[in-house]
Structure 1
Amino acid sequence: MKKLLLSGICAALGLTAFARDGYKIEVKFKQDVTDSFVYLAHYYAKALPTIYKTDSGRVINKRTAIIESKDSVLGGIYLLLFDNRTKFTEFILNNGDAMTINVDTTDMPANITFKGSEENTRYVAYEKFLMGYGKKQQALIEELKSAKSAADTQKVRDRSGVLSKELTAYRKDYAAKYPGTYISTVFKALAVPEVPEGTHYLAGTKTVDTEFAYHYYKQHYWDQFDFKDDRLIYSPVYDAKLDEYFNRMVMPLPDSMNREADVMLARTRKSKELFKYTLHWLAGNAERSKVMGMDEAFVHLVENYYMKGDAYWLDSASLAKYEDRAKKIAPNVLGNTAPELLMQDIWSLQDKPLSQQEGKYTLLVFWSRECGHCMKEIPQLDSVYRKVLKAKGVKIYAVSTEGDLTDIQKTVEQLKLQEWANVVDARNKTDYRSKYDVYSTPKMYLLDDKKKILGKGLDHSNIAEVIEFTEKKKAKKT
């Protein structure tokens, strides 16, 4: 398939008067094609290669195909796939459209023409502009490689910036000339805030606001995105916008993430497809996040949206999986009191409750001698414990999750972990896997003196950092 710049992929064109529901697309090839069928596909928030096939048309006499439907469709950026789906051309399709696409495969998209769609004719003109833009930028990239000084490098970058402004100006001019058209909507959705130049000060002071650019950019990031237009989901714009906003601009803290997620879902509430994608994306992003505490954001979304009927597209079995996952995470989110564990000492089998573990901090560790990763991590953890953590008041409450008791004892002796509180669930009554989401090992939680959860998903490399962060926070409050 031909490669297009994201900006080319993200182009879209305008509304036509709806004569009827559905569409009729006649495709005429200038050259013979070997296909028995050509296919209609569309984007869904993401760029290539993520597209969804939606219809097809039989090729007649190797040159002509008709793709037709009488069902109402959501407009957006569609693709015509041919040559065994190895080639494509993009175009704008709206409910009620009837058009002819003339395809000259020798020079795409420049030699694609449309009958019955002025918006798509303008789209081809835009793509021609992009092709020239891309060639100029590629030439600058090559020139940059051979730059011999910092001054030469800066000159090339300055010229690249001028080119980028030309692209921005093209889109602005188009939106002004053809207001209300779909491509104008997409161009506006693609737009990023232009931070005012100059020195900016904190309100009412002469102190320079060093974070002005960040706050201005974030505050105005969605200004030109039309949340009322569901057709934007049929373009490769939205996913990238969500990623930049939530993973680069929103503070990676559960409260911030929850607040921003609620705002975004409220914005999309009246647009069925945008809301659906937003909720799905936010939940997936929170669940996959490696940032400590983001699982709380996942629980928030499940409890306040999935469990209240907003995930209308899921069947009961799929919904149950979300609910089950949230219920496993909920007891051990940051700030909660750690669930009690009535474990037994590996030597005496006497009860050793987690709640009675003394120490300024308790490091709760779930590990297994059968786990290769554990056998690398545990000695490293013990080394950090002896060198750093012990002096900070840390005590380790280590739960062995697998193996014969005698073998566990031998492993503890071999690794010289006798200073730890080494325990097992000898009576198999604690349900620790569910309480602490222990479905893989090692797994670590840092608790304070009252057994409140300060950190989770830790390893030997970042425990001290969490303690230092916690103590700095306490110091600021006093």
Structure 2
Amino acid sequence: MKTLSIVCTFFVFITTFSTLAQTKKNIPASQIEFQSSEYKNKMFYLASHYGKYQTLLDSVKGTNDGKLVFKKDQKYVEGIYMLVTSDKKIELEFLMDTNQKFNIRVTNPTEKTIAIDNSPLNQDFNNFNSFFRIKMEGIKALEKTLADKKTKQDSALVIKDLKKIQSEINTYKNNYIQSNPSNTLALLFRMSQPIDNFLNKPSDEKLASKTDSIAYLKKHFFDGIDFKDNRLLRNPFLENRIATYFNSFVPVTPEAVTTEIVQILNQTDQPNGDVFKYLSLHFVDLYAEPKIMGMDRVFINIYNTYFKNKEYTWLQLKQKEFFTFKVSSIKDNLVGDKGRNLFMLTQDQKRIDLYDIKAKYTVIAFWDPTCGHCATEIPKMHELYEKEWKQKGVVVFAVNNNTNEMVKWKEFIDKEKLSDWVNVYPAPVVTGNYTKEDVDFQTLYNVRQTPVIYLLDQDKKIIAKKVGAENYTKIIEQLETKK
């Protein structure tokens, strides 16, 4: 079952604002004009980035002489914007700068040549695009040549030329940043810089080892990037920049990842700023269903730090409901924590709880005798148990998740010869000082489908969860090797 992206669910939107009638006394804060012979009487949209998404902001129809005029009473946030056709194709990209009263004319529709009036920033942007286009043509030509080279020596020469062109591009960006440190194009260059950017390193700063180099790059990776700056969301580079940082410099542990996320979010415009809103939900989305086992603890850490017992004007009801559901599904089955007790009965209705099991390792298998996938996987698990797990001190605590099918459950146990497992089903009545939540095993162990498998150690601490049965063999072997 696929969980919908919380960011996608709540942030992808398309809005079209009606153009307000302007009186002669009203002077718009933003007035952007485009002109081309191909724009005559055609509908166009003004669009911007919102992180990795794109949003339509306004629409206008071209005049008889091909002019498009977008007016607004308030200025737009600076960043990369787009002129979009009626069929949602990008006609051209431009920068929304501080002075939002400029004109872009298409002088050659075939080659998309443009002329810019009253916007030095867009002229800089256009100059870079021309420079970059030429350099990319050189790179493509060299890559084609490289594919034809037969010797390492010949290939090395081509690779050297490729690195030279890439260095020229990086130098262009760095020189521009130094000359225009605060403008939007400089910010975009910072956001798209390669990971191994040493061009600004002081000559007297020694990097004696690979460890020193990595430490330097990590320390300076976000130089010049202010996480309170709304312009960060008006370009497509933010999430990729952050992902590169985590993939390159941060150990894949819940503790290390949480520390870095907190450092980033604490630098944002919280509690109600756009960057905090976007990035906090971005990290929630990333770790609510993580690709790496155990990293859902990061989600719980983010929730406890930034959302638990807190109210935000921008947090919608559906988002709150998502948090409630997700927290209840994860908080009691985190890898590294002790698994909650399970109150069960055997086939002959004798009480046996999870904590009664004394074993080096316990595999909990939640399954359903009517589940087709279980009919395939449970016998495979039993084969692993007989061949490998039993010898390693594993006890399988197999829980029938469907008490409406007790006959089929017993028949399956007999057919597949599962009697050497601890086969149990949920006790209908549990005596003792327990709450309803204490016995809700489906929530405690996040059993939303079957089969669901957990591996616990002798103290019932969760070692692994929700991976294929064969992976548990590898995990146990790794644990045994460490001892």
Class of the TM-score when normalised by the shorter of the 2 chains = 0.7 to 0.9
2:138 maps to which residue? 136
Alignment of 1:289 with 2:298, yes or no, is: no
Alignment of 1:452 with 2:432, yes or no, is: no
1:307 counterpart SS class: coil
1:57 counterpart SS class: strand
1:5 maps to which residue? none
2:4 maps to which residue? none
1:15 maps to which residue? none
2:315 counterpart SS class: coil
CA displacement at 1:105 relative to structure 2: 5.8
2:340 maps to which residue? 339
Aligned positions of 1:69-84 closer than 5 A: 69-82=72-85, 84=87
Q: Give per-residue Cα distances to partners, 1:34-90, cap 9 Å, x unaligned.
A: 62x2110001222xxx31101112211161121100024211111011263334211
CA displacement at 1:212 relative to structure 2: 4.3
Higher mean displacement: 277-286 or 264-273: 264-273
CA displacement at 1:359 relative to structure 2: 0.6
CA distance in 2, matches of 1:93, 1:385: 63
Aligned positions of 1:365-444 closer than 5 A: 365-402=365-402, 404-427=405-428, 430-444=439-453
CA distance in 1, matches of 2:109, 2:319: 47
Q: Given the two structures, how large is their TM-score scaled by the length of structure 2?
A: 0.84
CA distance in 2, matches of 1:285, 1:319: 17
Contact 2:227 2:264 survives alignment (8 Å): no
Change (3 A) 1:407 1:218: same
1:101 maps to which residue? 104
> Which amino acid is 1:222 matched to?
F
2:47 maps to which residue? 41
**Contiguous gaps of at least 5 residues in structure 2:** 1-25, 200-207, 431-438
Contact 2:107 2:114 survives alignment (8 Å): yes
> Which amino acid is 2:38 matched to?
Q
1:55 maps to which residue? 58
Change (3 A) 1:247 1:85: same
> Which amino acid is 2:94 matched to?
F
1:184 counterpart SS class: helix
Alignment match of 1:183 (pick from 182, 185, 196)? 185
CA displacement at 1:312 relative to structure 2: 4.0
2:219 maps to which residue? 219
2:476 maps to which residue? 467
Change (3 A) 1:154 1:439: same
Cα RMSD (Å):
2.5
CA displacement at 1:254 relative to structure 2: 1.2
CA distance in 1, matches of 2:428, 2:115: 75
1:86 maps to which residue? 89
Change (3 A) 1:428 1:281: farther
Contact 1:101 1:112 survives alignment (8 Å): yes
2:59 counterpart SS class: strand
1:60 counterpart SS class: coil
Change (3 A) 1:353 1:392: same
1:351 maps to which residue? 351
Q: Give per-residue Cα distances to partners, 1:412-448, cap 9 Å, x unaligned.
A: 2222222111111252873211111110122111111
Higher mean displacement: 284-293 or 175-184: 175-184
2:363 maps to which residue? 363
Q: Given the two structures, how large is their TM-score scaled by the length of structure 1?
A: 0.85
1:409 counterpart SS class: helix
CA distance in 1, matches of 2:445, 2:375: 21
Alignment of 1:147 with 2:153, yes or no, is: no
> Which amino acid is 1:26 matched to?
E
1:251 maps to which residue? 251
> Which amino acid is 1:44 matched to?
Y
CA distance in 2, matches of 1:77, 1:139: 29
Contact 1:22 1:95 survives alignment (8 Å): no
Contact 2:34 2:68 survives alignment (8 Å): yes
CA displacement at 1:308 relative to structure 2: 4.0
2:62 counterpart SS class: strand
Q: Give per-residue Cα distances to partners, 1:145-165, cap 9 Å, x unaligned.
A: 323233333333222211111
Q: Give per-residue Cα distances to partners, 1:377-433, cap 9 Å, x unaligned.
A: 222222222222222211110112125111111112222222111111252873211
2:275 maps to which residue? 274
Contact 1:30 1:105 survives alignment (8 Å): no
CA distance in 1, matches of 2:167, 2:27: 40
Contact 2:41 2:66 survives alignment (8 Å): no
1:25 maps to which residue? 32
CA displacement at 1:356 relative to structure 2: 0.3
CA distance in 2, matches of 1:20, 1:309: 41
CA distance in 2, matches of 1:142, 1:399: 59
CA distance in 1, matches of 2:132, 2:173: 11
CA displacement at 1:310 relative to structure 2: 6.3
CA distance in 1, matches of 2:216, 2:476: 33
Contact 2:80 2:94 survives alignment (8 Å): yes
Matched length:
440
Q: Percent identity?
A: 26
Alignment match of 1:68 (pick from 50, 64, 71)? 71
CA distance in 2, matches of 1:254, 1:21: 49
Contact 1:30 1:102 survives alignment (8 Å): no
CA distance in 1, matches of 2:34, 2:417: 75
Change (3 A) 1:414 1:247: farther
CA displacement at 1:91 relative to structure 2: 0.8
Change (3 A) 1:95 1:369: farther
2:45 counterpart SS class: strand
1:412 counterpart SS class: helix
Contact 1:185 1:226 survives alignment (8 Å): no
